[in-house]
Structure 1
Amino acid sequence: MTNSVTSVWRWTQQHPLIIILVTAGVCLFGWLLWQGPWVLDQPHLDDTKPGPASVVSGFRTAVVASGAGVVAGVGLAYTHLTLKDTRANNERQAELTREGQITDRYTNAVKHLASEELIEQLGGIYALGRIMRDSEKDHTMVVEVIAAFIRKHAPASSPVDESAPQAPGDSEFEPDERVQVALTVLARRPPGREEPFKTDLSRIDLRGANLGGANLAGVNLIESQLQSAYLSGANLKGALLYGTRLEDADLDEAKLQKTQGLTVEQVVLARVTSKTKLPADLAADPRVVERIAAGER
């Protein structure tokens, strides 16, 4: 009962004009019942013929009928507005419930990431991936958490000697299982969502990682080690590749347009093909053209 009264009071505060119009209508209705016959039907009442009472009665009956119709209309309008408010409240409550559930899922997922058990860590990574897909609002936060997890567990602490670049086919490296899973989940993030930052995967060791078809558009890969990584079909548009090691990385059909920091020296040490989408200036360089031709003989 208290909730109903509160709802009515809130509704009256939100619709003052309707309250004024209803009050005016009630006053007009009472005045018509009282004075209407004498004001609007005065000629009939002054007639010497009998039956003025019938005129008054009929007029008042018409007014009552009209009033009943107006009341019914107002009731329907009020019901419609009340239902609309109820639906809005239900939707808000459902959204709050959904956000609460996502918060609980996120908290549990992060707890699993902090576990020492591999299985729990993998479960936490996949749980974060599911949250990322389900909640666009939490997309940025989840991407940052997964990227931080990768940076923590795959730091490029022992950079490859620049004076002795890795020979093609010589890599026996592959990333830790949890790092590979985190990369896979991150690389499958929903496309088309606005990301106000470049995902930070800089200065990490991704040698031998499987990133085929990965969505790495705009990712910061500065000084990261991607030797012998499988990047066939990967989307690296707009990625930061300053000092990134790409020796023997498979770049077949990879999209490298608008990348920043990519040099001819990096490209000729990777495995590129005529299907690799390179920036125009690099694709036209004679050394790159020769490297593609040599790789396709």
Structure 2
Amino acid sequence: MKTNLARAAQWLALALAVAAYCLLLWRGPWLLDGAHIRDTQLEPADGVVITGVRTMLVALGAGVIAGVGLYYTSRNHKLAQEQFKHTQQQFELSQAQFRLAQDQFRHTQQQTSRDREKDRVAQEMTREGQVTERYVAAIKLLASDKQTERIGGIHSLYRIALDSSRDRETIAEVLTVFHRESAAELQYQQALAAERIQGVNIIEGPLGPRLPSDDDMEAAQYVLNRLAGKAKPRVM
């Protein structure tokens, strides 16, 4: 509302100034040099005076207009400079915000990478823990006095070897030892049986109550062959 009133006042002042200037052009010669100009029956000398006064007024008006134009030109130039500086500041602020956004993005990427690495390590530790639990359970089955549990332990170790390449060599060594001990104990048991038949004194076996069998050795050898990549189909 105030802006509209100020603009209306400016236009009214401009209109009054134009009207006053036109009036001055018309009656100016008599107002400024009336003592030398007649009101009626003008002579050539009067025309010269009137023309000179009006020429002066026109030159003065042109000068005023030129001055006003220069003022507004200078003002617009200053406004343009201020606008340019403001634009530069806005641009520098935008660049700073962009760099900040880049830094935040890189920080987010690094944080995401660290979180992924932590998740990977946690998953790996969980997996290793599960493999260890399965490995311990399978080793316990190898020491069982039941043949089905021993064979199940052998194939459990095979599954662990497939899932964990790091434990494959260790499992192969365990099964090799199991195969060798089973073979030795089986030979010892066979020797004891022969001694019974022959009536010879029997010595207690060295490995306790577990009775090995050909199936134990066959299963262990089959898994070892599969781990070595040279397994053949088992004939049941």
Q: TM-score, normalised by structure 2?
A: 0.51
Q: Which residue of 2 aligns with 1:178?
A: 216
Pick from 93, 98, 109 the counterpart of residue 69 of structure 1: 98
- Output the amino acid matched with 2:221: L
Q: Which residue of 2 aligns with 1:284?
A: none
The question of 1:91 aligning with 2:120 is answered: yes
4+ runs deviating over 4 angstroms: 156-159
Partner secondary structure for residue 78 of structure 2: coil
- Aligned equivalents of 2:164 and 2:100: distance in 1? 46
The question of 1:137 aligning with 2:137 is answered: no
- Aligned equivalents of 2:217 and 2:167: distance in 1? 21
User: Mind listing any 5+ residue stretches in structure 1 that lack a counterpart?
Assistant: 1-46, 160-174, 192-212, 216-297
Partner secondary structure for residue 140 of structure 1: helix
| 1:78/1:190 CA distance change after superposition, 3 Å | farther
- Aligned equivalents of 2:161 and 2:148: distance in 1? 20
Q: Which aligned pairs between 1:5-24 and structure 2 lie closer than 5 A?
A: none
Pick from 115, 126, 150 the counterpart of residue 121 of structure 1: 150
Percent identical pairs in the alignment equals 29
RMSD: 2.4
Q: Which residue of 1 aligns with 2:31?
A: none
Q: Which residue of 2 aligns with 1:50?
A: 78
- Aligned equivalents of 2:231 and 2:142: distance in 1? 22
C-alpha contact 1:118 1:178 (8 A) present in aligned 2: yes
Measured against aligned partners, the alpha-carbon deviations of 1:251-273 in whole angstroms (never above 9, x if no partner) come to xxxxxxxxxxxxxxxxxxxxxxx
Count of residues paired in the alignment: 133
- Aligned equivalents of 1:53 and 1:190: distance in 2? 82
Partner secondary structure for residue 115 of structure 1: coil
Q: TM-score, normalised by structure 1?
A: 0.41
Higher RCO (CA-CA < 8 Å; seq separation 6+): 2
Over alpha carbons, which structure has the higher Rg? 2
C-alpha contact 1:133 1:190 (8 A) present in aligned 2: no
Q: Which residue of 2 aligns with 1:101?
A: 130
- Output the amino acid matched with 1:121: R
- Aligned equivalents of 1:190 and 1:94: distance in 2? 29
> Higher helix proportion, which one?
2
- Aligned equivalents of 1:110 and 1:179: distance in 2? 15
Q: Give the Å deviation of 1:190.
A: 4.6
- Output the amino acid matched with 1:57: H
- Aligned equivalents of 2:150 and 2:138: distance in 1? 8
